[in-house]
Amino acid sequence: MKQPLNRRHFLRSSTALIALPALESLGFRRFASAAASVPATPPKRLVFLGFGWGITQESWYPDIKQPGKDYVMPAGLKPLERHRADFTVVQGLWNKFSNMGHAGSTMWLTGANRYAQPGQSFHNSISADQVAAAQFGLHTRFASLQLNGAENAESSGHGPGLSMAWDQSGKPVAGHNGPFAAYHRLFSNDTTPIEQQKAMLAQRRSVLDTVMENARDLRRGLSRNDGEKLEEYYQGIRDIETRLSKDEQWIGVPRPKTDMAEPAPGLAGKKEIEIMYDLIVAAMQTDSTRVLTYRQPVSTLLTSMDIKVAPHDMSHYHSTMGEKLDASQRRDVAQSQLLAGLIDKLKATKEADGSRLFDHVALAYGSNLRSEHYLDNCPTLLTGTGAGIKLGENLVVSKDTPLCNAWLTLLHGVGVNAERHGDSTGVIKELMA
């Protein structure tokens, strides 16, 4: 379809909302055919993998005195050695407004100032993935996919939020907790009869009509502050309408088939991350979505490795070193092993034209937190050739370069023409091939 299905495709009266049949002039036949198959020309994808509690700074970062390609691979990244030509570590990035010592992903993709709104103790803005989703999401069943570890977010050092994603109003976007829920969201068909699905959507539309009419009546006589709050409310309604329109587009279009087996319920730790990485690949391979975030678990990862040190204590390894330092370093190696496995899968997965999935993906891996409460030099690793950036380097940028400059560079690289993002001051020219 040239245009997404909208409310003009329904017959409306004062009391009813009736769906029109699937008329060819509205593009239904062409849309259903396109939706059921993967594009012949591989699209660009954008993936963000975030973790809490930081890294072991002494053994994760390459030596800043060895910029470029000829650096010694640090112990924390050693499992990635076989991919060294295909990833770049960027050093010197930070979110200047960050002041939350144990919120590794809350502002990671937004660069927002939590005190930007007078009188409010918390404020956020749109995350980089949602900027891309506004463009890429027009072509897929899911505008974006938010994945979470199946554990309490704060136990993994992530801070507030329902995922790593935040919408254009700075409100949290809900995610799927654990691979079992994510798998069924992606690949399980809705068994509700189509006519009943249409009726349910029509009912929701009717409710939205009533709500909007009441809100318009309420606007008169409101103060400026209340007017701004009401505008936020309007935006929320618009977001719901967008989701309903997306649901309407895909009624009757079956979920794609996958060779991936249903994950067992209750997976945790290392095994959970492995399966989530498989799901990320499957979601892109079936073109179910082109934008993904994964708020990774840390607490259960440690438990699955038989590490007894609490994650918070681990992040403060400088205080006593010993077992805390050992836990931190083992965590780094395990996470790098898992990431190396994901890169293996991206390289092994073929697109419709025979190219590698890796060639059409831009993937960022990192955290808003270095270690303890240190918020500068955010650990940042970039891979995938989808954004056309330079890979295989230890890139040391000017001190205090906004982390959002990296996100802006990736957005431009995958074809999202954002003027700026968060507190960005421009793209990172040294990253551009």
Q: pLDDT (tens digit, 9 = 90+) per residue, 223-278?
A: 767 776 667 666 766 677 677 677 777 888 899 999 999 999 999 999 999 999 99
For the chain, the domain total comes to: 2
269 and 329 fall within a common domain: yes
If you search the block for the tokens 């799901």, which residue do you land on? 279
322 and 370 fall within a common domain: yes
Say which residues have a Cβ less than 8 Å from residue 66's Cβ, sequence separation at least 6.
72, 394
User: What tokens were used for 224?
Assistant: 């400026």
63 and 195 fall within a common domain: no
pLDDT tens column, 65-79: 999 999 999 999 999
What value, to the nearest 5°, has the Cα angle with vertex 176 and ends 170 and 179? 150
161 and 120 fall within a common domain: yes
49 and 144 fall within a common domain: yes
- Give percent of the chain above pLDDT 90: 69
Helix 224-249 to helix 194-219 angle (10° resolution) is: 170
pLDDT tens column, 119-139: 888 999 999 999 999 999 999
Residue 107 near residue 378, CB atoms below 8 Å = no
163 and 101 fall within a common domain: yes
* 336 domain residue, yes or no: yes
387 three-state secondary structure: coil
Residue 359 is classified by DSSP as G
422 three-state secondary structure: coil
What value, to the nearest 5°, has the Cα angle with vertex 390 and ends 386 and 395? 130
Residue 165 near residue 180, CB atoms below 8 Å = no
Q: How far is 46 from 383, CA to CA, in rounded Å?
A: 11
424: nearest Cα among 397, 388, 391: 397
* 2 domain residue, yes or no: no
279 and 420 fall within a common domain: yes
> Chain-wide mean pLDDT for the chain?
87
422 and 381 fall within a common domain: yes
* 28 domain residue, yes or no: no
Q: Burial-class residue 27 by CB neighbours within 10 Å (0-12, 13-18, 19+).
A: middle
Query: CATH number for the domain including 382?
Result: 3.40.720.10
> Which of 22-31, 55-64, 130-139, 178-187 is the least confident region?
22-31
311 and 402 fall within a common domain: yes
* 110 domain residue, yes or no: yes
pLDDT tens column, 377-400: 999 999 999 999 999 999 999 988
* Residue 381, domain extent: 40-189+262-431
